[in-house]
């Protein structure tokens, strides 16, 4: 196991070490103290544990790696993630998992506004509530919210599937509740299990997605 | 029926200056369809532009350089302020960002071939990087856009520079559009969207807002690429002085300013013609900001790239004289590839247009095979021949700029300066901040009005 202490080693040095070819094993990053861009651009099958709160873009653009943030994460955690797993034990600020294209993001606590904005294939599981504009313009992937969602859930959504256990304060443009078919229950069960919530009953969730009425410019589609 | 001006006069017909025929047609079209007009190209209205400036060639008080004999350099280094590997370009004319999606793969390949042939850079666009483009582009700038279509860290690392796009001249404050006709299986796949939908790109970045956040975003991009790549920030020309200052303070190595004549593949007509400021007006604002920060034309300074309506070497030279370090061309590059070529007159007529007027880039039916995803139409553009034509054009732009620079006594095109210019209209003099020809009057300066 390799340990870096961000109170002693510059961030660039730590990130560059994480980009070394053939990286493997387990890495601990101590003392993040809210630093931005911690463990960004990883592309190796390694386990990284960040011991503390992170600022913006923690584990941004992650590929392959399994990153655990022991604390809260700032704006854009795991933004544009390609694969691997990012687990935030605390809560996450806005734009969590933004534009993510693959992998799994688990947020133990709550997520702020625009969680899953423009997501393109990532799976996101939020243990608590999410803020307004959750899954705004979400294109692909799955988003699970175990608590409630704020205003305008799924506004201008494309093909992302949203599973919500609580209630949404309001639905965004073109977002509608959809039938929970057996394949969706099965899909949700898998997601909950992967995120560490195997005891949740998938049947207690509702599914939301696109009504697909905004897919083409039309006079009646303006606001 | 089209009447000649003489016939109109004989019949006593008078066209309204306010409600001219183009305006009447626009009202009729809107009433018919109930939706705004979407088209390609840039602003078509007359604007103060580079034609309103003239160079003061050398005479008694300035010595000219001999054409073809005395060296006039054209090379430019971009992004040396922070990046480990700045770009070294042989000429100060680059290819602007245009998306795969808006353009077909043949066109993107041709742009790359041309840029590589003359030692300059080309740029990706909304929709990500294609292997054809990367493969044929020696120096490729990767656009980092609000929608992040096709964005991935591998392409980020494969790029030679990164351009964070906040806006473009044709539509500052607006996101991209790609109508369903062009959202082919390949385009949709790269953008993770359903095939055939009218695609709306975002107008704001999804994970940052404002200059303080941009600084953090630029720092993240540097971390991911180990500080190797120059990072550009591109803005549509509006509040250019402030945008430039804020971009630089956020960490930009290069600022790209795109004036309202800059082209687009698909935007609302109202946006193209009514939002933004002319390129001519934007350049001095950006230069002023860089000068005040002590970073204009300095070894570790920030470079300025200007685009929007650049058509010939005189335009290039005028941009450089006003303080740009390089320019970018888009519309002119497409014309060089074969866009609006009279040989497609019959096809343009079938589409209700004509060579010289065709701007329906959103429709995907381009007879020249450039702004289309239709494989049959794309065969009309041979990437090698298109690349050759564009490389020729880039060489001409460079030689023309050198011709002017030598005439002004400059051993490098970037030695041109505002002092070499005068304006032939009051508007241009005020915008470009150079004197009206034959006077020492710069409207708005030194107590002027």
Percent of chain B residues past pLDDT 70, beyond the cut = 99
Instruction: Please report whether residue A159 resides in a domain.
Output: yes
Instruction: Please report whether residue B268 resides in a domain.
Output: yes
Q: Is A124 found in the same domain as A105?
A: yes
In sequence order, which ranges of B138-268 are alpha helices (DSSP H)? 153-158, 185-191, 210-224, 240-249
Distance from CA of B226 to the nearest CA of A (A): 6
Instruction: Please report whether residue B39 resides in a domain.
Output: no
Q: Is A100 found in the same domain as A183?
A: yes
Beta bridge mates, B140 = B122
Closest residue to B192, CB basis, from A114, A117, A140 = A140
Q: Which of A60, A90, A120 is the last residue of a domain?
A: A90
The confidence score (pLDDT) of residue A220 equals 59
Segment B226-230 shows an average pLDDT of 97
Q: Is A109 found in the same domain as A67?
A: no
What value does the mean pLDDT of chain B take? 95
Closest residue to B206, CB basis, from A41, A99, A219 = A99
Q: What is the ipTM of this complex?
A: 0.96
Segment B145-153 shows an average pLDDT of 95
Closest C-alpha among B361, B321, B345 to residue B176: B361
The confidence score (pLDDT) of residue B127 equals 86
Instruction: Please report whether residue B163 resides in a domain.
Output: yes
Q: Is A176 found in the same domain as A66?
A: no
CB within 8 Å: B198 and A217: yes
Instruction: Please report whether residue A223 resides in a domain.
Output: no
Instruction: Please report whether residue A54 resides in a domain.
Output: yes
Note the pLDDT tens digit of each residue in B3-32. Answer: 898 999 899 999 999 999 999 999 999 999
How confident is residue B2, by pLDDT bands cut at 50, 70 and 90?
confident
The confidence score (pLDDT) of residue A135 equals 98
Residues of B in contact with A82 (CB under 8 A): 152-153
The confidence score (pLDDT) of residue A219 equals 61
The confidence score (pLDDT) of residue B68 equals 79
Asked whether the predicted pLDDT for residue B111 surpasses 60, the reply is yes
Segment B89-104 shows an average pLDDT of 96
Closest residue to B192, CB basis, from A94, A121, A222 = A121
Instruction: Please report whether residue B372 resides in a domain.
Output: yes
Q: Is A100 found in the same domain as A56?
A: no
Query: Against a cut of 0.90, is the pTM above it?
Result: yes
Instruction: Please report whether residue A222 resides in a domain.
Output: no
Note the pLDDT tens digit of each residue in B396-406. Answer: 999 999 999 99
> What is the domain extent for residue A40?
1-90
Asked whether the predicted pLDDT for residue A221 surpasses 70, the reply is no
Segment A18-47 shows an average pLDDT of 98
How confident is residue B136, by pLDDT bands cut at 50, 70 and 90?
very high
Instruction: Please report whether residue B24 resides in a domain.
Output: no
**A37, A44, A59, A222: best to mutate for the B interface, most B CBs within 10 A:** A37
Q: Is A107 found in the same domain as A13?
A: no
CB atoms within 10 A of CB A201: 11
Distance from CA of A36 to the nearest CA of B (A): 7
The confidence score (pLDDT) of residue B447 equals 56
B169 contacts B258 by C-beta, under 8 angstroms: yes
Closest residue to A216, CB basis, from B34, B197, B207 = B197
How many structural domains comprise chain A?
A: 2
CATH number for the domain including B361? 3.20.20.70
Instruction: Please report whether residue B12 resides in a domain.
Output: no
Q: Is A191 found in the same domain as A177?
A: yes
Q: Which residue of B has its CA nearest to A78?
A: B207
Percent of chain A residues past pLDDT 70, beyond the cut = 98
Q: Is A73 found in the same domain as A41?
A: yes
Q: Which of A58, A90, A122 is the last residue of a domain?
A: A90
Q: Which of A70, A90, A110 is the last residue of a domain?
A: A90
Asked whether the predicted pLDDT for residue B143 surpasses 70, the reply is yes
Q: Is A111 found in the same domain as A49?
A: no
Distance CA A29, CA A47 (A): 11
Segment A25-32 shows an average pLDDT of 98
Distance CA A209, CA A211 (A): 7
Q: Is A177 found in the same domain as A121?
A: yes
Instruction: Please report whether residue B188 resides in a domain.
Output: yes
More reliable by pLDDT, B68 or A160: A160
How confident is residue A98, by pLDDT bands cut at 50, 70 and 90?
very high
Helices B210-224 and A11-18, interaxial angle, to 10°? 50
CB atoms within 10 A of CB B146: 23
The confidence score (pLDDT) of residue A200 equals 98
CB atoms within 10 A of CB B6: 8
Q: Is A158 found in the same domain as A178?
A: yes
Q: Is A144 found in the same domain as A126?
A: yes
> What is the domain extent for residue B268?
50-432
Asked whether the predicted pLDDT for residue B423 surpasses 80, the reply is yes
The confidence score (pLDDT) of residue B35 equals 87
The confidence score (pLDDT) of residue B446 equals 66
Note the pLDDT tens digit of each residue in A181-210. Answer: 999 999 999 999 999 999 999 999 999 999
Instruction: Please report whether residue A122 resides in a domain.
Output: yes
How many structural domains comprise chain B?
A: 1
What does DSSP say about strands A2-5 and A26-30: parallel, antiparallel, or unpaired? Answer: parallel
Six-digit token string for B391: 């490389």
How confident is residue B449, by pLDDT bands cut at 50, 70 and 90?
very low
Asked whether the predicted pLDDT for residue A131 surpasses 90, the reply is yes
Note the pLDDT tens digit of each residue in B31-78. Answer: 998 888 999 999 999 999 999 999 999 999 989 999 878 999 999 999
């Amino acid at each position: 196991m390799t340990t870096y202490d961000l109170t002693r080693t510059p961030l660039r040095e730590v990130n560059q070490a994480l980009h070394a070819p053939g990286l493997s094993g387990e890495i601990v990053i101590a003392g993040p103290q809210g630093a931005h861009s911690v463990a960004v651009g990883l592309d190796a099958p390694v386990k990284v544990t960040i011991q503390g709160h992170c600022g913006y873009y923690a584990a941004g653009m992650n590929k392959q790696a399994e990153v655990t943030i022991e604390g809260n994460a700032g704006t854009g955690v795991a933004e544009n993630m390609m694969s691997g797993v990012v687990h935030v034990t605390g809560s996450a600020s806005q734009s969590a998992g933004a534009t993510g294209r693959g992998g799994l993001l688990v947020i133990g606590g709550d997520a702020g506004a625009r969680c899953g904005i423009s997501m393109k294939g990532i799976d996101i599981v939020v243990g608590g509530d999410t803020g307004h504009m959750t899954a705004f313009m979400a294109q692909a992937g799955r988003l699970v919210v175990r608590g409630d969602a704020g205003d305008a859930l799924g506004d201008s959504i494309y093909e992302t599937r949203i599973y919500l256990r609580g209630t949404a304060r309001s639905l965004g443009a073109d977002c509608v509740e959809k039938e929970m078919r057996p394949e969706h229950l099965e899909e949700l069960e898998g997601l909950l299990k992967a995120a560490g919530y195997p005891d949740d009953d998938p049947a207690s969730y509702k599914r939301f997605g696109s009504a697909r009425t905004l897919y083409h410019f039309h006079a009646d589609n303006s606001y | 029926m089209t009447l000649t001006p003489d016939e109109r006069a004989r019949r006593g017909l008078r066209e309204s200056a306010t409600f001219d025929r183009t305006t009447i047609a626009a009202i009729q079209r809107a009433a018919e369809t109930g939706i705004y007009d979407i088209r390609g190209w840039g602003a078509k209205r007359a604007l103060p532009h580079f034609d309103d400036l003239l160079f003061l060639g050398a005479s008694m008080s300035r010595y000219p350089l001999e054409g073809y004999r005395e060296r006039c350099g054209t090379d430019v280094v971009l992004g040396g302020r922070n990046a480990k590997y700045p770009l070294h370009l042989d000429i100060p004319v680059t290819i602007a960002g245009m998306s795969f999606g808006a353009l077909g793969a043949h066109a993107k390949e041709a742009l790359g071939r041309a840029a590589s042939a003359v030692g300059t850079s080309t740029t990706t666009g909304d929709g990500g990087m294609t292997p054809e483009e990367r493969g044929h582009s020696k120096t490729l700038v990767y656009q980092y856009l609000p929608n992040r279509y096709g964005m991935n860290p591998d392409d980020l690392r494969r790029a030679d520079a990164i351009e964070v796009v906040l806006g473009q001249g044709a539509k500052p404050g607006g996101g991209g559009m790609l109508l369903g006709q062009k959202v082919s299986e390949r385009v949709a796949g790269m953008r993770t969207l359903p095939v055939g939908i009218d695609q709306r790109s975002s107008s704001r970045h999804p994970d940052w807002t404002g200059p303080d956040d941009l600084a953090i975003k630029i720092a993240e991009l540097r971390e991911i690429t180990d500080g190797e790549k120059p990072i550009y920030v591109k803005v549509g020309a509006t509040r250019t002085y402030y945008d430039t200052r804020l971009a630089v303070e956020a960490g930009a190595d290069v600022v790209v300013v795109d004036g309202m004549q800059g082209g687009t593949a698909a935007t609302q007509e109202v946006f193209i013609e009514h939002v933004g400021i002319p390129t001519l007006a934007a350049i001095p604002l950006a230069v002023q900001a860089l000068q005040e920060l002590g970073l204009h034309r300095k070894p570790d300074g920030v470079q300025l790239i200007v685009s929007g309506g650049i058509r010939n070497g005189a335009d290039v030279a005028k941009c450089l004289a006003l303080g740009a370090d390089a320019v970018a061309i888009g519309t002119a590059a497409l014309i060089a590839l074969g866009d609006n070529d009279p040989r497609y007159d019959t096809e343009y007529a079938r589409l209700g247009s004509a060579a010289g007027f065709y701007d329906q880039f959103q429709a995907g039916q381009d007879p020249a095979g450039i702004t289309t995803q239709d494989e049959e139409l794309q065969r009309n553009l041979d990437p090698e021949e298109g690349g050759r034509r564009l490389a020729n054009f880039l060489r001409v732009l460079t030689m023309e700029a050198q011709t002017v620079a030598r005439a002004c006594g400059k051993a490098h095109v970037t030695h041109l300066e505002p002092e070499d210019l005068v304006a032939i209209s009051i508007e241009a003099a005020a915008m470009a901040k150079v004197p009206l020809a034959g006077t020492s009057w710069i409207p708005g300066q030194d107590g002027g009005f």
